[in-house]
Structure 1
Amino acid sequence: MTHLLERCLIRIDRGLKGLEVTCLAGGVLLMALNTIVNVLGRYLFSQSLYFSEELNQILMVVITFMGLGYVTRQGRHIRMSAIYDQLGNRHKKGLMLLITLSTAVTLYLLSYYAFLYVAKIAQRGMLTAALQIPMYWTLLVVPLGLFIGGQQYSLAFVRNLQSRDVFLSFHALDIYDDSQATKSP
């Protein structure tokens, strides 16, 4: 049973990773391409792309919210760990279980409320100013990104339940490197 659960969790993790990486890489590349074409158009032809700023704003939202799951997967999210770092392993484990579970629940709730907001925007039929696409299309990534972040914290919670070690994410072991703290810039 444990082996089956592990395989299922690994599949979920791989699927989320593919989605996150595709959205992040695609978003950054599209943003760079859009900006380059807009600059070239402005300086070579004295004509900017009328939708460039709007497209970059949409891509920034995609990168931000899809990046939430990605940084959580890598164990690179912002942490306030002054008290946590002073604890012994047993207490760190308990606190990490509390942190991952409460963060997952919070992100799931935020995802739910974001979805309700996007549904309300969809009902109103609002369009973006330049591209004239439904506004809710540009916002669907918000509840999706929050949900994926919740999935990543849920995976970290399960990993911490299964292991003796403390994990920041499904893959990232909580290891503090003293050499980083003593290096001067």
Structure 2
Amino acid sequence: MKLFSLIDAGLFQIEKTIVSSCMLIMAVILLASVLCRHLNIVMVGGEEIAQFTVVWLTFCGMALCARQGNHILMSAVLDTISMEKRKKLITGICLFTGCFCLLLAIYSFQLTQSVFTRGQVTPALRIPIWYMYAATPVGFFLTGIYYVGGFFKNLTHKGIYYGLEKPE
């Protein structure tokens, strides 16, 4: 159990690092791109790097939100039902969403594998496209794991868990 906690803590740090790094890189690249355009300087590849960071930010951010239970909720529906029914509903939603994300992880892995075998690269920087596509199976897999973890946490703990970390 201690090994799982260490892996979980390390994974959380990696996710936070990826998300914050992507935000910082994206901001710097886009700012530099605007400045270069204003000064009539050609900046090669800025949009490609920004595109990569947006994709990684989206899918790693999705996993981070699922872990922390920060996804959008239909609270208008949840507020009208009892706590017992709410817990059952959230538990079912966590299971369904987790399984669906794991299924999407499989499909996106197959898509990434297909792009990898074709050897596609970006036009300006010649970066393999599959680096960008790899964000989807990683993000969906982690999101699925976190939602399934939330499902089990709801089964074994008191309170309502929207993710691994956030009880109601």
Query: What TM-score, normalized to structure 2?
Result: 0.91
AA aligned opposite 1:113: Y
Offset, 1:8: 5.2
CA distance change for structure 1 residues 74 and 9 in 2, over 3 Å: closer, same or farther? same
Does 1:61 find its partner at 2:61?
A: no
Q: Which runs of 5+ in 2 are unaligned?
A: none
Do structure 1's residue 52 and structure 2's residue 46 form an aligned pair? Answer: yes
Check conservation: 1:9, 1:155, Cα contact below 8 A: no
Question: 1:156 touches 1:170 (CA, 8 Å); kept in 2?
Answer: yes
- Pick the aligned partner of 1:18 from 13, 16, 33: 13
Counterpart for residue 183 of structure 1: none
Q: Give the Å deviation of 1:134.
A: 1.3
Structure 1 pair 28–100 and aligned structure 2 pair: CA distance change class (3 A): same
Question: What do residues 110-144 of structure 1 show as CA deviations (whole Å, max 9, x unaligned)?
Answer: 00000000111111111112111111111101110
Cα drift, residue 38 of structure 1: 2.4
Residue 92 to residue 161, structure 1, CA distance change in 2 (3 Å): same
Find the aligned partners of 1:72 and 1:87 in 2 and give their Cα distance.
23
TM-score w.r.t. the length of structure 1 is 0.83
Name the structure 2 match of 1:123.
117
Identity of aligned residues (%): 32
- Aligned pairs for 1:128-147 within 5 A: 128-147=122-141
Structure-2 residue corresponding to 1:165 = 159
Distance in 2, Cα, partners of 1:87 & 1:145: 32
- Within the candidate set 26, 30, 46, 1:31 is matched to 26
Kindly tell me the number of residue pairs found equivalent between the two proteins. Answer: 168
Q: Which residue of 1 aligns with 2:107?
A: 113
1:86 alignment partner, SS class: coil
SS at match of 2:167: coil
Distance 1:87 1:11 in 2: 37
Larger Rg: 1
C-alpha distance in 2 between matches for 1:49 and 1:17:
34
Distance 2:112 2:85 in 1: 40
Residues 1:150 and 2:113 are matched in the alignment? no
Q: Conserved in 2, the CA contact under 8 Å of 1:38 and 1:52?
A: yes
* Offset from partner CA, 1:72-125 (integer Å, 9 cap, x none): 223221122333222212211211111111111000000000000011111111
Gapped runs of 5+ residues in structure 1?
A: 175-185
Within the candidate set 77, 94, 97, 1:103 is matched to 97
Secondary structure of the residue that 2:165 maps to in structure 1?
A: coil
Cα RMSD of the aligned pairs, angstroms, is: 1.7
